[in-house]
Chain A
Amino acid sequence: MQKVVIIDYGSGNLRSAAKAFERMNSELGLNFTIEVSSETDIVMRADRVVLPGVGSFPDCYTGVAKQEGLLEALNEIVITKARPFLGICVGMQLMASRGYENGETIGFNWIEGDVIAIKKSNAQVKIPHMGWNELDIMVKDHLVIENLCNIAQKPHVYFVHSFHMVPKKSDHILAVTEYGQRVTAMVGKDNMIGTQFHPEKSQKTGLQLIANFLKWSP
């Protein structure tokens, strides 16, 4: 039986993420087990890996780094073994080279780029960027973001963040959203994708994305 491991490194509640994966797993009639864990040997046996994250970039990085062997296990399973990976919110930001929240912190450097503050370009731009915003999909042939479109509008997803990732190469940007500036909403490279928004809180659109991720074979 294939296993989806949602990495638990003390960053908030993972129950709703786990439940969203369980729901789509059963709706699609797939045969995954969904496991929430921080144990290196469980992570090493994952067929798919999900890294959530709430709070600040340095706190989340420290959270991962202080779990013995977890960073190495993630590099092994995601980079060497190329298992499908989904980073959510700060879990996505950690894929970058560096973060600039409360000083400079290194990231996993899986996608070359920096995590920087959203500019407060005018009074209407409230920080955090909080709520439902539209996805402008930049690539048309990525299986994880196909069929997300709503008939009436562009797909909407739920964001809560003050920083965003700016990848060095623009082809690593899968989707953007507009918030006084172009904000990176989704990144991808090889077997990895990352969403700045919360698919587990984005109702139908989010659940569809999770379903797509479960079916994705990069």
Chain B
Amino acid sequence: MLKIRIIPCLDVKEGRVVKGVNFIDLRDAGDPVEQAKIYDIAGADELCFLDITASSDNREIIYDVVTRTAEACFMPLTDGGGIRNINNIRSLLLAGADKVSINTAAVNEPNFVKKASQKFGSQCIVVAIDAKLVFEGKWEVFTHGGRKKTGIDAIKWAQRMEEYGAGEILLTSMDRDGTRAGFDVDLTRTISDNVSIPIIASGGVGNLDHLVEGVSKGHASAVLAASIFHFGEYSISDAKAHMYNAGIPVRLED
């Protein structure tokens, strides 16, 4: 049986972790590679870097981070943030990323997703959708960290991105992101039930029950979380044990 994936996400800015684990035994807690290694050993099912570097001049630093991570961690790695063109994707894949996550560039030019998936294969193209509830049962796509409204219906957008070759959707509720109030399970379920590609639920995880709900109520194939892992509140194995006990199929480490 295919297992539900638990994906920790690290925010990386100019090659440094800005939101990450506070482990005292790390030589350099700001080094994304050191943190990636910890998650690899802990049995995370995948790892996600979100590059939040503001200046495009410093974008190249992430390639080095990805290279060093891929050399040390034998697990799937996704990189997102600031991907604008085919060359960005090529550089990341050559550095060792397995997948790239595209957000704003997809909204600006939907055909970019089509081109990228034709060129590199659907398996490595993740489309990130930031969605906000506009009224009951209707969510809209936002960009720029939830600040910019696009007028695009999130369900239709997800379907279109599937049609254009996205292999997976990373779905973040902008209403819940950072609130620790749990996933927007209605949003997650609605999108998941309307596409046939896997959905990664994101935004709002504050405890381990939320991870369970993302799957049981939201029908997600994977759950992404940042802060609950980084602050050492819960470990990957706590999360897996909790999900396992709730009847969610997860991969357990021996």
Contacts and interface: CB of A to CB of B under 8 A. Distances in A.
Contacts of B93: 12-13
Interface residues of A, number: 41
A201 B76 contact: yes
Contacts of B2: 129, 131-133, 159, 179
A54 B193 CA distance: 28
Contacts of A191: none
B94 interface: yes
B75 A126 contact: no
Interface string A159-182: 111100000000000000011000
Contacts of B254: 150-153
A165 to B, nearest CB: 17
Contacts of A200: 74
Contacts, number: 109
B110 interface: no
Interface centre among A151, A160, A162 (most CB of B within 10 A): A160
Given A54-B121, A120-B196, A158-B76, A130 B167 contact: yes
Main secondary structure, interface of A, reads mixed
Interface centre among B72, B120, B196 (most CB of A within 10 A): B196
B196 A127 contact: yes
Interface in A199-218: 200-203, 206-207
Main secondary structure, interface of B, reads loop
Contact of A123 (B3, B123, B193): B193
B221 A55 contact: no
Interface in A2-47: 12-13, 15-16, 19-20, 23
A207 B123 CA distance: 22
B5 A128 contact: no
Given A128-B167, A130-B198, A151-B254, A16 B96 contact: yes
B71 A131 contact: no
Chain B, interface size category, equals 35 or more
A207 to B, nearest CB: 6
A92 to B, nearest CB: 15
Contacts of A126: 196-198, 221
Contacts of B14: none
Contacts of A150: 252-254
A161 to B, nearest CB: 7
Nearest to B198: A126
Contact of A156 (B197, B198, B251): B251
A128 B123 contact: yes
B1 interface: yes
A19 B70 contact: yes
Contacts of A162: 122
Given A16-B74, A19-B71, A152-B252, A131 B123 contact: no
Contacts of A207: 74
Contacts of B146: none
Interface centre among A23, A150, A153, A206 (most CB of B within 10 A): A153
Given A132-B251, A151-B254, 7 more contacts: A19-B71, A23-B74, A55-B120, A130-B221, A133-B3, A160-B167, A201-B74
Which 3 A-B pairs give the minimum distances between C-beta atoms? A55-B121, A150-B254, A160-B123
25 contacts: A12-B93, A13-B70, A13-B95, A13-B97, A15-B95, A16-B70, A23-B74, A54-B120, A55-B120, A59-B121, A126-B197, A126-B221, A128-B198, A131-B198, A131-B221, A132-B251, A152-B254, A158-B76, A160-B76, A160-B123, A160-B167, A162-B122, A200-B74, A201-B98, A206-B74
Interface of A: 12-13, 15-16, 19-20, 23, 54-56, 59, 120, 123, 126-134, 150-153, 156, 158-162, 178-179, 198, 200-203, 206-207
